[in-house]
Structure 1
Amino acid sequence: PIYESQIEFYNGIAYPYGYVNTPEGLRLDFNAIKEGIKRGAKHIFYNNYNNPTGASSPVEEMECLAKLVVENDMFLISDDAYFDTLYDGTPKSIASLPGMYERTLTMYTFSKKFAMTGWRLGGAIGPEEIIEQITRLNVNMESCTTHFVQYAGVAGLNAPKSETQEILDRLQGRRDILVKILNGIEGVEAHMPEAGFYVFPKITDLLQKLGFNDGEEFRKMVLKETGVSFCGRHHFGRPLESETDSYIRLAFSGIGKDDLQEGMNLFRNWIDSNTK
């Protein structure tokens, strides 16, 4: 979901923050977060194991964010959709940090770990008064999740870890191929995603080399002439005033290695034939 548009739909005021490109990967822009707090923000949406960037907060970064929440008496909504798609290490919830359990609403979905996208099964953990309101709205909006989906969710929870690990292993293989190909294209810079199934490469230099001033024009041209589809940065909220670089998001979730290789060959050949 695009939090910015959701907030504005309900007449709230959004103070978006982004990520900073570092040698270690994309990291939270704490200057923007602090500015939002200064301007009156009361809640923070936090999507660790992030879509679209694939970024994962180191413990120090998570602790810094938690400190800001506690010190400013805020409430945090933790979107943990990709919690179980961390490739290396053990995922950590910000709600586990001191002072954060009572200040956090954790949202989870079965879509990612169990490959149940479209079945719309998920859950939330948080303070009782928040969960009561979610329950009241949910009962009136949809009554309950349809039964066969509930049974599928139970089957997923009871499945041996090897089954879901196999999914993650397949994704990791695709990830490694995609990042290697992207970083072999002049003008493209792709960090290795730490979680999820998206790559978020910077294409600023590539656009300049190809003579594009608009990333959306580039995206549509590639789709039309190669059939290769990806999202632009603007699909994930309005670009911030401080942003100067261009990014795209490529997904490797629903595509096999052979098709992935074929698509990227088409993409790379198109770039070569259009280089000025």
Structure 2
Amino acid sequence: MLMAERLSRLGTENAFEVLAEVNKLVAAGRHIISFALGEPDFDTPENIKQAGIRAILENKTHYGPSAGIPELREAVAAYISRTRGIDVSPDEVVITPGAKPIIFYTIHALVNPGEEVIYPNPGFPIYESVINFVGAKPVPLPLLEERNFSVDVDYLRSLITDKTKLIILNSPQNPTGGMLSKQDLEAIAEIAIENDIWVLSDEVYSRIVYDGEFYSIASIPGMKERTILLDGFSKTYAMTGWRLGYGVVNAQLAQQIARLETNCESCTATFIQYAGVEALNGPQDAVDRMVREFKERRDLIVEGLNNIKGIRCFKPHGSFYVFPNVTEACRNLGLKDSKALQQYLLYNGNVAVLPRTSFGVKNVGEKEEYLRLSYATSKENIIEGLKRIKETIEG
């Protein structure tokens, strides 16, 4: 039977495909060290779990408003107002089952077929996937190693056309760990305002920062009304399986995004939203401990990668990823590209990583090869994984 044509334009998230491959090898008796999946290895803090359990026991298990329960929308509004230095009201908040729906709903709500969306490349693959899905034109914005994987604002300006509808930003960034400076954000804001363009700002790693200071483009005067601020609970509170995220947008767009949610899943699970209230309003000690541990792991993995022949690794400012340049390693091993190296490490070294092409098609003229490693795993695994990579690459 024939499927709808639009499905041919829908991409995927390759981390889950690699995970399936890893699981098959593990089932066959192999011991794999995995740096593939971007998921904190910490448990959800106890106070948050108990809040969710309590909500179930109190029978908070019925339908809720599509935009989210008032208590969580109020908590998010207060949190964003405090951390971004802007005034946010609950009617500018939409709660969703995970942060991904905000990407999906934003692009569907704002972008028509044939219009253009600028997105970071390398970047989270779902951006490009949804842009293609709606029939719009994806316009990649290269993130270059020589700029610490930040944005070349002049190049961004050159990409603007009369069809540009949306610019997507992600800081701290997946997969590179790079961060946008306040100066860069101010320049991007100027471009957005001058050309009347929306900005989707993916800030899911905003609390996982090691060096420098996190800035949101929504905090810049004139930007709150044209910014869709995306955040969630998966990374900060180790709540990936809970599926809880949100968007902060102007009230008019918030109504339309909530209407899309009504059509899609009715609402986000009610008892999970009460856990979200506790996450934002309760103690933050567990988050602080997690970030301290991630920083130690970052330093460990960066030092280890830079001691492997043919690899050089930028020290990321945030998130829990490293994006080492493996061009020389590929050349030394006679491998075509990072995808070939990823397979080589998996089957010869029992180490799972992701190739550059899991994060978008290469930019025009891009010749370097990269891998992404998530250090959301124990120090013991990092040490063992680095040992295996070194032995496999150096022989």
Alpha carbon RMSD of aligned pairs, Å? 1.5
| 1:6 aligned onto 2:130 | yes
Q: Which residue of structure 2 lines up, in the alignment, with residue 260 of structure 1?
A: 382
Higher deviation after alignment, 197-206 or 139-148: 139-148
| 1:79 aligned onto 2:192 | no
3-state SS, counterpart of residue 169 of structure 1: helix
Instruction: State which of 351, 355, 376 in structure 2 corresponds to 1:228.
Output: 351
Residue type at the aligned position of 1:62:
L
| Structure 2: distance between partners of 1:204 and 1:186 | 11
| 1:173 aligned onto 2:296 | yes
Shift of 1:31: 4.5
Shift of 1:213: 1.6
| Contact 1:5/1:237 (<8 A) preserved | no
3-state SS, counterpart of residue 130 of structure 2: helix
After superposition, what is the alpha-carbon deviation per residue over 1:174-225, rounded to whole angstroms, capped at 9, x for unaligned?
1110000011112211111101000011111111122112221111111011
Shift of 1:50: 0.4
Instruction: State which of 257, 270, 279 in structure 2 corresponds to 1:134.
Output: 257
| Structure 2: distance between partners of 1:172 and 1:131 | 35
3-state SS, counterpart of residue 83 of structure 1: coil
Shift of 1:250: 0.1
| Structure 1: distance between partners of 2:312 and 2:232 | 30
List, as ranges, runs of 4+ consecutive aligned residues in structure 1 with deviation greater than 4 Å: none
Residue type at the aligned position of 2:379:
K
Shift of 1:159: 2.6
Shift of 1:25: 1.9
Change (3 A) 1:35 1:217: same
| 1:118 aligned onto 2:236 | no
Residue type at the aligned position of 2:132:
E
| Structure 2: distance between partners of 1:238 and 1:227 | 26
| Structure 2: distance between partners of 1:192 and 1:251 | 13
Higher deviation after alignment, 94-103 or 24-33: 24-33
1:164-203 to 2 correspondence within 5 Å?
164-203=287-326
| Structure 2: distance between partners of 1:231 and 1:20 | 18
| Contact 1:66/1:94 (<8 A) preserved | yes
Instruction: State which of 245, 250, 255 in structure 1 corresponds to 2:368.
Output: 245
Q: Which residue of structure 2 lines up, in the alignment, with residue 149 of structure 1?
A: 272
| Contact 1:110/1:121 (<8 A) preserved | yes
Residue type at the aligned position of 2:290:
I
Q: Which residue of structure 1 lines up, in the alignment, with residue 144 of structure 2?
A: 20
| Structure 2: distance between partners of 1:172 and 1:139 | 40
Name the TM-score, length of structure 2 as normaliser.
0.66
Residue type at the aligned position of 2:382:
L
| Contact 1:109/1:121 (<8 A) preserved | yes
| Contact 1:81/1:108 (<8 A) preserved | yes
3-state SS, counterpart of residue 82 of structure 1: coil
3-state SS, counterpart of residue 243 of structure 1: coil
Shift of 1:89: 4.0
| 1:270 aligned onto 2:366 | no
| Structure 1: distance between partners of 2:344 and 2:144 | 28
| Contact 2:197/2:226 (<8 A) preserved | yes
Change (3 A) 1:179 1:75: same
| Structure 1: distance between partners of 2:162 and 2:327 | 31
| 1:70 aligned onto 2:218 | no
After superposition, what is the alpha-carbon deviation per residue over 1:139-163, rounded to whole angstroms, capped at 9, x for unaligned?
2211222233223212211232222
| Structure 2: distance between partners of 1:11 and 1:235 | 21
3-state SS, counterpart of residue 222 of structure 1: helix
| Contact 1:16/1:32 (<8 A) preserved | no
Identity %: 35
Consecutive unaligned residues of structure 2, counting only runs of 5 or more, are: 1-123
Residue type at the aligned position of 2:144:
V
3-state SS, counterpart of residue 189 of structure 1: coil
Shift of 1:8: 0.8
| Structure 1: distance between partners of 2:380 and 2:271 | 33
Q: Which residue of structure 2 lines up, in the alignment, with residue 100 of structure 1?
A: 223
